[in-house]
Amino acid sequence: MVHMPEAQEIEALKKALALAHGELRVLRTERDLLKEQLNRFKRQLFDAKSEVSAAHQKDLFFNEAEVEGAQAQPAAAETEDEKIEVPAHQRGKTGTKRGRKPLDPALPRDVRRHELPEDERVCPHDGAALREIGVEVSEQVDVIPQQVRVIRHERVKYACPCCDGGLRLAPKPPQVIPKGLLSEAALAWVITSKYLDGLPLYRQAALLGRFGGTDLSRNTLAASVVRVGQATQPVINLLRDALLDSFIVHGDETEVQVLKEPGRKAQAKSYMWVQMTQASGEDGTGPPIRLFGYSPSRSTHAARTLYEGIRPGGALMSDGYEPYAAIAEQHRLVHLGCWAHCRRYFHEALQALPKDKRGPEQLPARFIELIGRLYKVEADARRDDLDAHALQQQRTRHSKPVLEQIEALALQHLHGVLPGSLLGKALHYLTAQWPKLVRYADDGRYPIDNNACENAIRPFVVGRRNWLFADTVGGANASANLYSLLQTCVANGIDGYRYLSALLVALPRAKTVEDYEALLPWRLAAADR
Which tens digits make up the pLDDT trace of 280-333? 777 677 899 999 999 988 889 999 999 999 999 899 999 888 899 999 999 999
Is there a domain that residue 56 lies in?
A: no
Q: What is the pLDDT of residue 498?
A: 94
Amino acid 65: pLDDT: 37
Contact (CB, 8 A) for 327 and 304:
yes
pLDDT of 119: 87
Q: Look up the domain containing 208 and give its range.
A: 181-231+466-528
pLDDT score at 358: 80
Q: Are residues 414 and 374 in the same domain?
A: yes
Each residue of 20-43: pLDDT tens digit? 776 676 666 666 667 666 766 666
Query: Is residue 352 domain-shared with residue 413, that is, in the same domain?
Result: yes
Would you say residue 455 lies in a domain? no
Separation between Cα atoms, residue 344 and residue 334, nearest integer Å = 23
pLDDT tens per residue across all 529 residues of the chain: 445 567 777 777 777 777 777 667 666 666 666 766 676 666 666 665 555 444 333 343 334 333 333 334 433 333 344 444 544 545 544 455 566 788 888 888 999 999 989 888 888 888 888 888 889 998 888 887 778 888 898 889 888 888 877 788 888 889 999 888 899 999 999 999 999 888 888 888 888 888 777 778 888 899 999 999 999 999 999 999 999 999 999 999 988 888 878 888 888 888 899 999 988 777 677 899 999 999 988 889 999 999 999 999 899 999 888 899 999 999 999 999 999 999 998 998 888 887 877 888 888 899 999 999 999 999 999 999 999 999 999 999 999 999 999 999 999 888 887 777 888 888 999 999 999 999 999 999 999 999 888 888 888 887 777 766 778 888 889 999 999 999 999 999 999 999 999 999 999 999 999 999 999 999 988 877 6
What's the pLDDT at 439? Answer: 93
Q: Based on the fold, state whether residues 373 and 415 are members of the same structural domain.
A: yes
With respect to residue 495, please indicate whether it lies within any of the assigned structural domains.
yes
184: region left, alpha or beta (phi > 0 left; psi from -120 to 50 alpha): alpha
- 227 found inside a domain: yes
In angstroms, the Cα distances linking 436 to 132, 315, 430, 433, 442 are 73, 11, 10, 5, 11
CA dihedral 485, 490, 493, 498 (to 10 degrees): 50
Do both 411 and 473 map to the same domain?
Answer: no
Identify whether residues 368 and 411 lie together within a single domain.
yes
300 in a domain, yes or no? no
Query: Is the same domain home to 355 and 407?
Result: yes
Predicted local confidence at residue 80, as pLDDT: 41
Q: Are 374 and 429 part of one and the same domain?
A: yes
Instruction: Judge whether 333 and 315 are in contact, CB under 8 Å.
Output: yes
Asked if residue 420 and residue 352 are part of one domain, the reply reads yes
Closest by CA to 464, choosing from 254, 181, 263, 303, is 254
Domain count, the chain: 2
Residues 431 and 349 in one domain: yes
User: Same domain for 433 and 349?
Assistant: yes
| 432 domain residue, yes or no | yes
Same domain flag for 421 and 478: no
Q: Which of 437, 454, 478 is the last residue of a domain?
A: 437
Considering the domain architecture, whether residues 361 and 415 belong to the same structural domain is answered as yes
Distance CA 339, CA 378 (A): 12
